[in-house]
Amino acid sequence: MHATRNGENYDLGYAKRATLVVVLLPLLVMYTEAMLTPALPTIQKEFAVNPNDVSWVLTIYLLVGTVSVAIFGKLGDMYGKKKMFLVALGFYTLGVILNGFAPSFRWLLVTRAIQGFGMAIFPLAFSLVREEFPPEMVPQVQGMISAMFGVGMVIALPLGAYVTQHWGWRWTYHTASPFAVLMFILAWKVLRESRYINPGKLDWPGALFLTWAVVPALVAVTRAPNTGWTARETLILFGISIVGTVLLVLWERRVENPILPLGIITSRNPALVNVGIMFAAFGISMMSQANTYIFQMKPPYGFGKSILESGLLMTPMAGVMLIVAPIAGKLMPKIGAKPLAILGALTASVGLGVLAKYASQLPPNHLWTFVGLITLVGTGITLMNISLINVLVFSVPQRVMGVATGANSLFRNFGSTWGPAIAGTVMSTYYVLFHPPGAPSWVKIKIPTTKAYEVLFGTSAVIYLFLSILSLAIVEVMKGGRIRGSREGENEALINNGS
């Protein structure tokens, strides 16, 4: 079955088959990544490394991935998005397989870095969805992709704890490997090559400057809660990153085929989306950090739940996201992306504001009130994220969709890195010392107080209020059933008009 929209032909049968691939992707990645979190203490003990060192298992993946999303996005525009999607998914699959067999901590970091190249699968998947799916179907598919992130997290956290406890941390990867291989075969068989290719030479100096700008900053942010935000090491890393950023901007302005076309990523809608996604990811990660602690800390500073129980208690939030996301995607072409972005940001802000106001009164007696509030926040975040990604993909030319979505993922990763770092600093500021039962008398650990939760939830509430105001500046890309920017020429017009 075929359909024609604005002069473009679309195969609806293919679109439905491809939907299965792109919707299962978040489940695979969240299953793999979230299962790792409960396993970190076990990895630390096996390789006899300290807590700061074991955190590099997470950091190295993020560092490599943040650079790779931009580079692979550009390569996808140049050589075909399916080709680069399969290469990125190949790296991810190889990394997942090798992780479980790492003979040393150093090798584990190497294999995690290999896996990090696979982070580019998401911007490339978003690009393929935009190119090959009928425009009115794109918001629905993006909605399902967003919902699966939450579902994958809820499945993976308790399952990861169970697997690690009974079979060891290596089996978190051994159990994920068959699914990764299956996803690669499915993508290879089902997906078609993108119809828009923009040939040219890769901007290698730009890639170098991008790495120079991104990596030191992410390392500084990751290490700052332990080394100190004003420590000499932290300031030097930030300084190196600033120099790299200046050189990147200067180079990208003059090069013929830049890896990050500034005219595209800084035009109105893409710039608003990039800033919005960065702050949204920052707020989400801060809230998630607070949620983890408030669920698991002993009363009166939390609800005293296990990792398994915490995961199960987040099921309502994932379930609502699974329902809200596709519905929002279906309604978006009629209502518009802009109103839903504003509604989502305001909903999240209100929910977080209530959490901040009553944080000291929630544990240990108001568990279901807390679950209800984070579910409300999750609903708002889902609405906003779906709206922003659709604003982006309908605001840029399809021939540079890989660059646009890759840059957006880069901004998202920045926000996701800052969130836990700031949350860790806040929880290290507002704490009480606790003596674990059975431990030596001199052993005391820091437990965040409800004041820390107030600050984290309150800050996140302000961030989402800011995002609702920021969304007012978005130029609407769809409304009343009409989707703007459906054709290449319309996209060019939008860019040239600064939207």
For residue range 363-385, list pLDDT tens digits in order: 888 899 999 999 999 899 989 98
Max alpha carbon distance in the chain (Å)?
75
Higher per-residue pLDDT: 485 or 40: 40
What is the C-alpha to C-alpha distance for residues 267 and 395, in angstroms, rounded to an integer? 9
Is the model's pLDDT at 2 over the cut of 90? no
Average of per-residue pLDDT across 66-91: 90
Token pair of 324 as six digits: 């809200």
Confidence of residue 50 (pLDDT cuts 50, 70, 90): confident
Of 159-168, 235-244, 372-381, the poorest mean pLDDT is in 159-168
pTM of the model: 0.82
pLDDT for res 498:
39
Burial 210-245 (b: 16+ CB within 10 A, else e): bbbbbbbbbbbbbbbbeeeeeeeebeebbebbeebb
Per-residue pLDDT at 264? 82
Average pLDDT for the chain: 83
* pLDDT at residue number 305: 83
Average pLDDT over residues 338-351: 95
Amino acid 487: pLDDT: 44
What confidence score (pLDDT) does residue 447 get? 75
Closest CA to 132 of 194, 75, 198, 197: 194
| pLDDT top residue among 494 and 81 | 81
Confidence of residue 212 (pLDDT cuts 50, 70, 90): very high
| 299-337 exposure pattern, b = at least 16 Cβ within 10 A, e = fewer | eebbbebebbebbebbbbbbbbbbebbbebbeebbebbb
Start-to-end CA distance of the chain, whole Å, equals: 34
Q: Which residue has the higher pLDDT, 306 or 230?
A: 230
Q: What is the CATH number of domain 9-192?
A: 1.20.1250.20
pLDDT tens profile 117-156: 998 898 888 888 877 777 777 887 877 777 777 777 667 7
Contact of 277 with 407, CB cutoff 8 Å = no
Query: Residue 251 above 70 pLDDT?
Result: yes
Residues 386-414 as b/e (b if ≥16 CB within 10 A, e otherwise) read bbbbbbbbbbbbbbbbbbbbbbbbbbbbb
Highest mean pLDDT among 146-155, 274-283, 290-299, 341-350: 341-350
Long-range contacts, 9-15 (Cβ 8 Å, 24+): 10/132, 10/133, 10/134, 11/132, 12/134, 14/132, 14/192, 15/132, 15/133, 15/134, 15/137
* Predicted pLDDT at 483: 72
The answer, yes or no, to whether residue 392 has pLDDT greater than 80, is yes
Q: What is the pLDDT of residue 404?
A: 85
Look at phi and psi of residue 228 and say left if phi exceeds 0, alpha if psi is from -120 to 50, else beta: left
Give the pLDDT confidence of 462-499 residue by residue, as tens digits.
Answer: 999 999 999 999 999 887 767 765 444 344 434 443 33
Q: Give me the pLDDT at residue 312, please.
A: 78
Read off the tokens for 163.
């697997």
∠ CA 191-193-199, nearest 5°, is 155
Classify 260-499 by CATH class.
mainly alpha
How is the chain split into domains, by residue range? 9-192, 203-258, 260-499
The average pLDDT across 20-41 equals 80
Among the residue ranges 68-72, 195-199, 241-245, the one predicted with the least confidence is 195-199
Least confident of 11-20, 110-119, 260-269: 11-20
Burial of 184 (0-12, 13-18, 19+ CB in 10 A): middle
Q: What percent of the chain has a predicted confidence (pLDDT) above 90?
A: 30
| The predicted structure's pLDDT at residue 495 | 40
Distance, in Å, from the CA atom of 129 to the CA atom of 152, rounded to the nearest integer, reads 20
Answer whether 9-192 and 260-499 agree in fold. yes
Percent share of the chain, pLDDT over 70: 90
